[in-house]
Amino acid sequence: MNPVEMVGMLAELERIRELTLDLVERSAPQLLPAPPTHADGAERTVFELLLGARRAVLGNPVAARGLHDLLVAEGQRYADTPAGAELRDALVASEAVENLRRVWETLSLNVLDGPASSNAAPDAWAELLADAIIGHGLDNSVLGHFRPEGFA
Amino acid sequence: MLTDPRPALGEQSNFVGYLVGLAHLARAVHALACDGQPRADPRREADDFTHLLLGVASMGDAINRLAESEPAQPSGTTDAPASPATNTRWLR
């Protein structure tokens, strides 16, 4: 394989990855209510930020899992300090955290939880992907999107 | 090229902006903790999500400590040993 073919293959893999993400996003629960497209200000910004966070998590599960584990470990270390323990207890008792947890679960679709090998995509992410593709009906119209251009 | 450091790119870096954004997120975590409404069922243990928020808060505190530390010395006056050229090529 020469360098040009290798770059072409990488570009094709990226195209397939984007199409797969589109499919998962269409199958996933929508964030409601969506602010109007002409809305301006903080509401629209937060909505776009949440959608971007979901795509970043779904599109980069290994990196997202790594960052997640890093923050959880740092949080556990912080919780061992007096200030951290006080904040932990306040967070556990807060209704606002429960609301945020629901938003987070809708966003991440829980793909960062559960078992995962080191430097590998979490099992829940692979299951979500399989559900989205197989549940969508793996027929010719779906597979057609994934074929390289020029292939019947 | 990755091996061609350009000062202009360094000037456009928004590294401080990232730190300010993280510190702001940490403040939001503290604000969540101060939320007036207590949970109906407060018996829950701290889980990964809670520790994730704590991790963000801890990073914000660390960034605030950076801001309170001594002002940075001008480039070239630091006592730290010079990094090999192979490492500094990433610093633009």
pLDDT band at residue A90, thresholds of 50, 70 and 90? very high
CA separation for the pair A59, A6 (Å, rounded): 21
Q: Is residue B9 included in any domain, yes or no? A: no
Nearest-by-CA chain B residue for A89: B46
* Alpha carbon of A78: minimum distance to chain B alpha carbons (Å): 6
DSSP states of A18-37: HHHHHHHHHHSPP-SSPPPT
Q: Is residue B82 included in any domain, yes or no? A: no
Q: Is residue B77 included in any domain, yes or no? A: no
Task: State whether residue B37 sits within 8 Å of chain A by CB.
Answer: yes
Residue A120 is predicted with a pLDDT of 79
Neighbours of B5 (CB within 10 A): 14
Give B-chain residues touching A78 at CB under 8 angstroms: 54-55, 57-58
Residue A109 is predicted with a pLDDT of 78
Task: State whether residue B53 sits within 8 Å of chain A by CB.
Answer: yes
CA separation for the pair A146, A131 (Å, rounded): 17
Residue A144 is predicted with a pLDDT of 65
The percentage of chain A sitting over the pLDDT mark of 70, rounded to a whole number, equals 83
Which H or E run includes A97?
A: helix A95-108
Chain-centre distance for alpha carbon A63: 10
Q: Which of A66, A54, A81, A68 is nearest to B55 (CA)?
A: A68
Residue A53 is predicted with a pLDDT of 84
Residue A98 is predicted with a pLDDT of 87
DSSP states of A38-77: T--SHHHHHHHHHHHHHHHHHH-HHHHHHHHHHHHHHHHH
DSSP states of B13-77: --HHHHHHHHHHHHHHHHHHHT-S-B-S-TTPPP-HHHHHHHHHHHHHHHHHHHHHSPPPPPTT-
Domain that holds residue B20: 15-35+59-65
Residue B92 is predicted with a pLDDT of 46
Residue B51 is predicted with a pLDDT of 94
The answer to whether B63 and B23 have CB atoms below 8 angstroms apart is: yes
pLDDT per residue rounded down to tens, chain B (92 residues): 556 666 666 666 788 888 888 898 899 899 888 876 777 666 678 888 999 999 999 999 999 888 887 676 655 554 555 455 555 555 54
Q: Which of A20, A28, A30, A108 is nearest to A68 (CA)?
A: A108
Q: Is residue B5 included in any domain, yes or no? A: no
